[in-house]
Amino acid sequence: MLLFVVSFAALCTAAARPPLSYLENHFAADNESEEVRSAAIKRLLEVFGMEDPPAIHRHKQPPQYMLDLYNTVADVDGVTKDPYLLEGNTVRSFFDKLRSEQVEFRFNLSTVSRTEKILTAELHLFKLQPLAPLTFNRHHFCQVSVYQLLDTSKNNKTQDKKLLSSRLIPVHSTGWEVFTITQAVRSWMIDEGSNMGLHVVVRTLGGSQMDGKLIRFASGRNHHQSKQPMLVLFTDDGRRRSTSLESIDPNDTTATSSLPQASMSGPSSRSTRSLDYSEEEGVSLPCQRLPLYVDFEEIGWSGWIVSPRGYNAYHCKGSCRFPLGQNMRPTNHATVQSIINALKLIKGIEKPCCVPDKLFSINLLYFDDAENVVLKQYNDMVAGSCGCH
């Protein structure tokens, strides 16, 4: 609808100008079209909470954990299965930047806004098979502790590390182990310079240092990316909100400006009224939900978005003619307005409008500029149903 309005205004302006040659008209139309596209893309980026599209990372593979998490919270079109499955509305994964052979790790969190609320932070470590044979090994469990390294040069600190998480794990096991490190990440967000990294210590149940051949974790230096140490951060950027569609006045242009033109039908407008009729049959169509597919590849975003490739936003179109049946899902206000309009009791009262009365969120899995993989949930992106309001 935005494209139609801008193009119509441009044509009215062009009619008042002196005649141009065909070539000049062609270039002017191209420039105006490019301006409209640029403005539309910029506005769409704002909807997704970005200023510019991230860089393209065509050959990068997202962590399996992030793919599994996306498939847990979203359906094949990216629509949220259950709004309470995800803690907060943003999940980020960070790979270790030290890439050390030692059990020390550091993560660059500069892409996280200071305004975001830190909910949970997890250190994911992949435990490898022991190198030493377990046949004669008397140890079946070990104590794995994760410490936050401290900057002893600040505030005359005497301790060089702080315990964050500690638990028992089987010596013979292999696979991912997860440790909570929320306290450390919150302190790093307050003072970025205090991020000295993390240190992992493995001990026997008696407290002595464990043989490195028995307990090994994959490092960023010598192991495949699928097993590299990873920090997973759950946050909320404050954009999560509950929309009360019943409170929207359908005749308020500020409230309906983002809705399809078909939702603003009225007897005083011939152009908008014609949108409520079938072009083939010439009959009035009732308020209904129709497809509106958003293709990220056509927009030029497929290079940095992992999933989905696009989604069906749907749109509402049709007439809210008197009398309004329950299948039109009318509000009491819409029913009264429909009666006033039908009886022509008050001049200038329009018919109710066909608008979304239920909205769903979608999830986007994508690479940011720092090559971190982000899972973000966006509210009010899909029209779940339509009604006369």
Find the helix or strand (DSSP H, E) in which 30 lies. helix 22-47
pLDDT computed for residue 205 by the predictor: 86
Q: Where are the domains of the chain?
A: 90-236, 288-365+380-388
Query: How far are the Cα atoms of 18, 48, 54, 146, 199 from residue 125, in angstroms, in the given order?
Result: 70, 31, 28, 11, 12
Q: Residue 33's pLDDT is what?
A: 82
Q: Tell me the C-alpha distance between 345 and 2, whole Å.
A: 34
**Which parts of the chain sit beneath pLDDT 70?**
1-31, 57-59, 99-102, 132-139, 154-159, 210-214, 220-223, 240-283
What distances in angstroms separate CA 30 from CA 34, 86, 243, 313, 357, one per listed residue? 6, 44, 38, 28, 38
How much is the pLDDT for 134?
Answer: 54
Q: Which tokens is 294 given? A: 């958003």
Tell me, what's the pLDDT at 21?
57
* Cα atoms in the Cβ-side hemisphere of radius 13 Å centred on 374: 26
- What was the pLDDT predicted at 215? 79
**Cβ-based neighbour number of residue 300 at 10 Å:** 12
Task: State residue 166's pLDDT score.
Answer: 94
Rounded to whole angstroms, how far apart are CA atoms 46 and 182?
Answer: 29
Q: How many angstroms separate the CA atoms of 320 and 352, rounded?
A: 6
For residue 263, give the 3-state DSSP assignment.
helix
pLDDT of amino acid 253: 35
pTM as predicted = 0.76
How large is the greatest C-alpha to C-alpha distance in the chain, in angstroms? 95
pLDDT tens by residue, 248-288: 333 333 333 333 333 322 333 333 333 444 444 445 789 99
8 Å CB contact between 84 and 361: no
In degrees and rounded to multiples of 5, residue 103 shows phi and psi of: -85, 55
| Helix 2-15, helix 22-47: angle, nearest 10 | 150
Helix (H) or strand (E) holding 10: helix 2-15
What is the pLDDT, as a whole number, of residue 16? 45
CA–CA gap between residue 124 and residue 231 (Å, rounded): 6
> Which CATH number does the domain 288-365+380-388 belong to among 1.10.3720.10, 1.10.565.10, 3.40.718.10, 2.10.90.10?
2.10.90.10
Phi, psi of 201 (to 5 degrees): -120, 135
